[in-house]
Structures are given as C-alpha cells and as structure tokens.
Structure 1
C-alpha cells in the first residue's frame, strides 16, 4: 500500500470535512441543551423572585412586563407580585455595564411604598474576593428598607450613602447604578400609584 501524497487540495478537503462535522456536532449539542438551560434560567428567576418579594400567590413570571428604556440595551423586566389580587410589590431587573469587569445584573424587589425589600445578584463578573462581595449580607443589608428617593445609592466616596466594598469602588458604583435603574423603572410603572 503506497502512502498518499499530501497536497493542498487534500488538506483543504480534510479541513472542510472536519469543520462541517464539528459545526454539526456543536449545533446538535446546542439543541439538546437548549431546554435544560432555559429551565435552569427560569428556576433562577423564580428563586430570585421568592427572595426579593413578600409572599405572593400569583405567577409573576407569566405576567412579566417588558419595558423599553434608553437606560438599558435590552428590555427591562418587571415582575408584579400580588396576594389575593392585591399588589405586594414588584421586582425589577436592573443592570449596569460599568462594573470593573463589565455587566452587573440584579433583581431588586420593591414594596408598594417604594422601599427596597431585597436585592439578588443575577450576573456579575467582578474580581473574586473584592467585587464579588456584593452578594454578601453585610453589603446587601444597607439597602433593605431604604427608599432610593431618600437614600443616595452612590458610594460615600462619591457623596452617596452606600458603604463601598473594600477595594471595589467601581463594582459598588455599578451596583448602585443598577439599583437606581430598577428604582426609576419601578416608580414609572408602580401599580399602587395609579
């Protein structure tokens, strides 16, 4: 059996076949994992809603409102919670692209009186051990019960009321900006004010 001579045409065909097989394989794997990924994302949102809203008996995910805003690239999601058809608050997803490593995305739960019930960090790429501390109780508790109309969401270093994360002022600014965005949208759409 003689060895086949390597030519440019043979190498091009081999590379083309490998590329086609890899592309088809990746597409197939993406189709297989699309459902589980969507389910996991929905579960994370439902868990976040349970953390940021008072007890509710409606399905806020089904009743989500998408609001276009110049404050965000995508539509802003608003989830209204009710108990026996009475508003108990709303959860709004706020985001900022100004984190140290980019996107900071949070879900902020508001009571009908416009005070913050709780905040959950949905996405962030901040520096481990510094900016990632935005998820910790010590940082989060300074926002609970506060009305952003009376509590300046900027770090104290910038004239605000927020104790910044040590070594992560940029992350703190992004967190405050995302919270402010969520609050501004909540005020514009608060069902108890209408």
Structure 2
C-alpha cells in the first residue's frame, strides 16, 4: 500500500512540474508565436491588400474588444497618414470557416481590398477564392456599409464558377466586416490617431 502511495505522489509531483514548465514555456513564447502567425498566415493577405503603404502594418497594429471577442486591427499609412485599417472576419465555406482580411479607408468608408487568409476549401475549386484576383477585385471601392451577397442570393457579387459556397462564405465574411466596422469605427479612428 505504501508503494502505491509513493508512486501516486511521484506521478502527481511530476505532472505538476511538467504542467508548470509547459505553462511557463507557452507564456514566454506567446508573443513570438503570434507574430509568426501574423507574418506567415495573415501577413501575405495584409501586405497584398495594403500594397503601397509606407509603414509595416504587422508592427503598427492594435486590439479592440468587440463584445467577448478581441479583434486585431492593422494600420496602413498612405502619403504619411494612417487612413486605412485591415482586420479579419470569417464566413462559412464548403470545408469550414474562411478567414478574410478586409481593408477599409476610414475617411471614405470604402473597401481598399480583401484577401483570404485561411480556408479548408477543395483544392483547385473553392480554394480559388484565395487566388482568383478578379473575384477579390470586385469588392474594391465598394461602401463597407452595404450588404454583400452573391448574385444567386440576390446580391451583386459574382460567384466563382463551381465554388458558389466558397464565394458565399467570402461575401458573408465581408458583410460581417461591415457590421464590425460600423460598430467600432469611432474606437478604430481614436486608436489610429493615437
């Protein structure tokens, strides 16, 4: 009986030490992991839609609380002034959620560009939502406050042939971005001017 108690205590102590070490390791690498994810997962879409900005939007960023969700915003400076903000939203696609980065000019409330960050869509079909530039370009210059739907649902967005569900997912994400932007615009502008 004594041996079992010793074994039990040894396992408990080892587990507590291992858990503590793993927690300390996670806390010490948290910021670096977040930056790596920004750089390699979201960064390409951010840099593409904020092409021509004079700053590094991956560094010039801030977070805002939106209800229970903390959102990251990336600032784009053009002609020396911060007038564009990019942030990520999600829409349901064929294979799961589609992450979409949406950039908005805060002076005109117009979409500067969109870019798909993450998806689980079918390669060569739904995945074209990320690579088809003509599909992405149709959002440029549109007012962020309008409703975004594909034409088959009564909207104005041309769906990618064979990838209607993926196209709907992107349109849904851009529509959600409009709602978030309208809700947080005053806070966004304050943070950008700080």
TM-score range, shorter chain: 0.5 to 0.7
Unaligned runs of 5+ in 2: 1-21
Offset of residue 133 of structure 1 = 1.2
RMSD of Structure 2 on Structure 1 (CA): 3.3
Distance, in Å, in 1 between the alignment partners of 2:142 and 2:79 is 26
Deviates more, 1:102-111 or 1:59-68: 59-68
Cα distance per residue 1:2-40 (max 9 Å; x no partner): xxxxxxxxxxxxxxxxxxxxxxxxx8xx98x98986554
Cα distance per residue 1:69-124 (max 9 Å; x no partner): 36xx852221222347622211011112x211111001111123111111111100
Q: Aligned ranges for residues 6-45 of structure 1 at < 5 Å?
A: 38=34, 40-44=36-40, 45=42
SS at match of 1:131: coil
Distance, in Å, in 1 between the alignment partners of 2:82 and 2:142 is 19
Taking structure 2 as the reference length, what is the TM-score of the superposition?
0.68
Q: 1:163 aligns with which of 154, 158, 164?
A: 158
> Would you tell me which structure has more helix in proportion to its own residues?
2
Cα distance per residue 1:151-191 (max 9 Å; x no partner): x4101111110111223222112111111122222233252
The number of residue pairs the alignment matches comes to: 164
Distance, in Å, in 2 between the alignment partners of 1:115 and 1:81 is 14
Residues 1:78 and 2:78 are matched in the alignment: no
Taking structure 1 as the reference length, what is the TM-score of the superposition?
0.68
SS at match of 1:61: coil
SS at match of 2:171: helix
CA contact (8 A) 2:60 2:75 kept: yes
Q: 2:94 aligns with which of 92, 96, 100?
A: 100
Q: Aligned ranges for residues 125-164 of structure 1 at < 5 Å?
A: 125-135=120-130, 136-150=132-146, 152-164=147-159
SS at match of 1:130: coil
Unaligned runs of 5+ in 1: 1-26
CA contact (8 A) 1:92 1:186 kept: no
* Aligned match of 1:65: 62
Larger Rg: 1
CA contact (8 A) 2:109 2:143 kept: yes
